[in-house]
Structure 1
């Protein structure tokens, strides 16, 4: 049979061999390509039949090729297509006794994923018994599943973070709530960092609710929250801890100068009128402040109680002012604002 590849035991035609080995190469003794499996023909393109092996492939093993016997001595072959994208192959060579040439059986090895992508291959381009494409599909399916799991985990982390943020956010003002203040205070204490604690309370807020209604009161609270937020640094904590009560934690503060500066800024901004539906909302703010540095490792309860005492010292002194309470001294007024008219 013309073109048959003959072995001592049987005769097999090139077409039948292609069914079993879609990437075989039949080389004559001079290493000219006489036949190829259908998948390999697809990859090599027109003109490969009759060409020398080295005209179509770059040999990696063996490096030099004089005649077909060099391929047999190499045992395990490595080569790449010369044409872009330079697909790589591994393979073995066996002698063909009657033809005097060699038969190469090639595969993609670990590069099968890239080869399938680069050449648009499908399962019909592989032998029916070859598990490579099935394993590739499994790998792709696993990657897809893992990708979805990763996306789901990211969504869950995002949902958890949003839930935690909402759990520590005051819904009306967008500031931290009492829980956020407690967590922030405990963190500063645990880290041993110096800080200032300011306790603020609105003056005459009840009259706003009584005369203009709770919508006006909510409007005042949101405006005050904006004043507080814009009066401190980005890393400082501002929290609404009650109806019209707020707490500010100033991290890294060891003396009263930053307290005086922030308090004066807040009192100055509070002189601007707050209007609701054209009507003035006459409020002021009283502030009490303490330093953690002069309290010898006092806990959260002591600091909050002392700041509360300083706050009420401001109210007793006439409101609209900032009072600092040392650990072992009398209340000291640091800044005075204006009462509403």
Structure 2
């Protein structure tokens, strides 16, 4: 059994460590030589300092702020074993903590640093990972938890985005006519509700294709579908970005014109639509011909616009065009 003096001598004996061992045990260490110049730094500290600080003066690498300012090795040695608050010269706004100990034989000082409460900021700023910390450092466990939390949060965010995207896509499909890509009756109702809530005036144009039944009866439903798609393109081409076209029946369409109440302009638009729709439509080797009747209703005809009533008025105007010989534009009274 060793005597107490032998135990004390063994306890105080200097243990020689290789550079790689120092890097693994204390990746944020700083070795200050007897002349006050940096001899060696750990890999994490070098990364945060923007390069290898070897050969620089102590005060060019770290700034000790508490318990007292340190510029020289002698001042640092007076703080042997005292907890330090400091920062790197390369990152003066990032608070670190550390402790300095004197090396035996007047060989300088050894400083070990830690991110402390600045761990999250340091990780984000310098893109640090688990490998940048000692395995026994509490920061490694904190960083593991942070990375795990970030992974879970990221996955939850991606899942939420997928669900929101799927929901938005489903809602868009539910409000879209599958054949023409226009809005359907559900989409129209939603648009009219928003329009009324906004208080902005608008016009409704109800369009019914004339002679469309003859196309279906003569050339078949495939040709009829092609004609409907062509008619949808014609109607869409007469809309501004803030307007809407909806297919509300087999060959019936409704157009909503935002902030447009000029009867003469609306009649011209309606007449232009009829002229475009009456142009021959080629479907394969077949030429199809249709026309259209149009009815218009204006929201300013009522103190409080009611979408149901406006659609009814536009429908009545449409059938006035039908009774007048078709291929006409009529305005609700």
- Counting only pairs closer than 5 Å after superposition, residues 52-91 of structure 1 correspond to structure 2 as 53-54=57-58, 57-61=61-65, 64-70=70-76, 72=78, 76-80=84-88, 90-91=97-98
Partner of 1:163: 170
> Greater shift after overlay, 301-310 or 139-148?
139-148
> 2: distance between equivalents of 1:239 and 1:77?
69
Partner of 2:159: 152
Partner of 2:185: 178
Question: How far does residue 14 in structure 1 lie from its aligned partner after superposition?
Answer: 3.6
Q: 1:255 to 1:175 in 2, by over 3 A?
A: same
Contact 2:281 2:289 in 1 (8 A): yes
> 2: distance between equivalents of 1:71 and 1:254?
86
Query: Deviations 1:162-212 (Å, cap 9, x if unpaired)?
Result: 111100100001111011111111222222221111111111111111111
Question: How far does residue 236 in structure 1 lie from its aligned partner after superposition?
Answer: 0.7
Contact 1:175 1:225 in 2 (8 A): yes
Partner of 1:213: 220
> 1: distance between equivalents of 2:97 and 2:248?
71
- Counting only pairs closer than 5 Å after superposition, residues 280-299 of structure 1 correspond to structure 2 as 280-299=287-306
Q: 1:147 to 1:315 in 2, by over 3 A?
A: same
- Scaled by the length of structure 1, the TM-score of the pair is 0.76
> 2: distance between equivalents of 1:288 and 1:41?
77
- Counting only pairs closer than 5 Å after superposition, residues 120-269 of structure 1 correspond to structure 2 as 122=131, 126=134, 128-269=135-276
Matched residue pairs, number?
A: 311
Provide the secondary structure at the position in 1 that maps to 2:300.
coil
Contact 1:29 1:68 in 2 (8 A): no
Structure that is richer in helix per residue? 2
Partner of 1:271: 278
Provide the secondary structure at the position in 2 that maps to 1:293.
helix
Consecutive unaligned residues of structure 2, counting only runs of 5 or more, are 1-7
Question: How far does residue 116 in structure 1 lie from its aligned partner after superposition?
Answer: 7.4
> Greater shift after overlay, 180-189 or 314-323?
180-189
Contact 2:83 2:97 in 1 (8 A): no
> 2: distance between equivalents of 1:58 and 1:154?
44
Query: Deviations 1:269-321 (Å, cap 9, x if unpaired)?
Result: 12311122322222110001111101232422221111111101101111001
Q: 1:309 to 1:100 in 2, by over 3 A?
A: closer
Query: Deviations 1:210-247 (Å, cap 9, x if unpaired)?
Result: 11111111111111001100012121110000000111
Partner of 1:105: 112
- Scaled by the length of structure 2, the TM-score of the pair is 0.78
> Greater shift after overlay, 255-264 or 316-325?
255-264
